[in-house]
Amino acid sequence: MAQAYKWRSEPNIIARMVDGNEIKTWRSRNITLKPNEACVFIVDGQIGPIFSDRMVNQIGGGFTRHVANIFGATATDRRILFGMTGPFDIAIPFSTLTQRGLQVQGHVRLRLKLMKEDLPKMLNYFTNHGSTLNRLNIVKLFKEHVNQRLIAASFSNCDSESTIRSEQFQAMFSMNAEALLRHPLASVGLTLLSVYAVTERTSSEHLALHRVRVEQGTEQEQINATARQKAIEVREGIALRTIACEVEVARAKIRGDQTLEVERELIHIRALEAVLRSEDERNMRLMAEHERQKATRIEQAVAMFERVQSAKRERQNAN
């Protein structure tokens, strides 16, 4: 019974060069290539046809090769080049300066594709590198080229953050990338589908954001202070009216001409005072809850900033 062969052990693998002597066996070995996978056989330096979207039998030679090997009638060098032909994304980090000396950090997002007919060009990579090509290998291969020729040239003409965030900059960046990366990528069989720059917040943008948040907090505190002042004035008015009513009731009792209307007004004022006191307590609770939520958001923002800084340090250490 034939044994199935798997050339790709993880999603990050893009291509792999396999030595046929490592998988030869007297038993049949086959592989089922998906629509986004391709392979080509290289026997004694000769490149054979490219296979895709089908089952390839006897990739190890099987019993026939086993017998021929005994009599020395097989090829001396037999290799199989596998490739993943579906689109994939890579991110190349960068750190550069603008025209005004502003430091900009971020990464370039490239969407690449290995065309089926370009699979033999992968031999240019495997000639000087290992037997496996993954996303990290591609980043290392083109990082210096992207940073020195594409990033430095593109951001050297920017004079403000608004220029970096504009659609015109992304269009210009995409055209420059197409012109500068087409040939280096084509040399290893890769085709550039799309590219754009992802720029992190600059120090000026962080400062502007902090200024807006401080202004918003000041305005909110001003609104709360105005509301508290109005509540105090209302309570003062009620207290003065209560005192006036109590004085009138006392005078009426002394004169013996206390009226029912004054008593009803006093009862109404007492009830209104109780309602306002309840509302004041509720407002105090709401203010306390608001302060607690505000402190929680500040703690979350600080924690998020620490994580961003930690991730930045890890990327810098990795580079």
Domain boundaries along the sequence of the chain: 3-84, 88-200, 205-318
From 209, 231, 150, select the one nearest 185 (Cα to Cα).
150
The token duo for 13 is 């693998």
- In whole angstroms, give the CA distance from residue 63 to residue 27: 6
- In whole angstroms, give the CA distance from residue 226 to residue 75: 91
Task: Report the pLDDT value the prediction gives residue 190, as an integer from 0 to 100.
Answer: 94
- For the packed helices 167-186 and 135-145, what is the interaxial angle rounded to 10 degrees? 110
- In whole angstroms, give the CA distance from residue 287 to residue 223: 12
Over the chain (319 residues), what is each successive 10-residue block's mean pLDDT?
Answer: 73 88 61 87 83 76 48 62 92 85 86 93 90 93 91 81 82 91 92 90 67 81 85 84 80 64 76 81 83 82 81 78
Amino acid occupying residue 20: G
Task: Report the pLDDT value the prediction gives residue 159, as an integer from 0 to 100.
Answer: 74
Task: Report the pLDDT value the prediction gives residue 68, as an integer from 0 to 100.
Answer: 47
- In whole angstroms, give the CA distance from residue 254 to residue 89: 93
- In whole angstroms, give the CA distance from residue 79 to residue 59: 10
- Would you list the DSSP string of the chain? -PEE-----STTEEEEEEEHHHH--SS-EEEE--TTEEEEEEETTEEEEEEESSEE--TT-HHHHHHHHHTT-S-S-EEEEEEE-S-EEEEEEEEEE-TT--EEEEEEEEEEEE-GGGGGGGHHHHTTS-SEEEHHHHHHHHHHHIIIIIIHHHHTT--SHHHHHSHHHHHHHHHHHHHHHHHHHHTTTEEEEEEEEEEPPPHHHHHHHHHHHHHHHHHHHHHHHHHHHHHHHHHHHHHHHHHHHHHHHHHHHHHT---HHHHHHHHHHHHHHHHHHHHHHHHHHHHHHHHHHHHHHHHHHHHHHHHHHHHHHHHHHH-
Task: Report the pLDDT value the prediction gives residue 95, as an integer from 0 to 100.
Answer: 86
Task: Report the pLDDT value the prediction gives residue 26, as an integer from 0 to 100.
Answer: 46
Task: Report the pLDDT value the prediction gives residue 255, as an integer from 0 to 100.
Answer: 65
CB atoms within 10 A of CB 133: 26
pTM for this entry:
0.59
Separation of first and last alpha carbons in the chain: 48
Instruction: Give bridge partners of residue 107 from the DSSP assignment.
Output: 93, 198
Task: Report the pLDDT value the prediction gives residue 280, as an integer from 0 to 100.
Answer: 79
CATH of 88-200, one of 3.30.479.30, 2.30.42.10, 3.20.80.10, 3.40.190.10: 3.30.479.30
Task: Report the pLDDT value the prediction gives residue 317, as an integer from 0 to 100.
Answer: 78
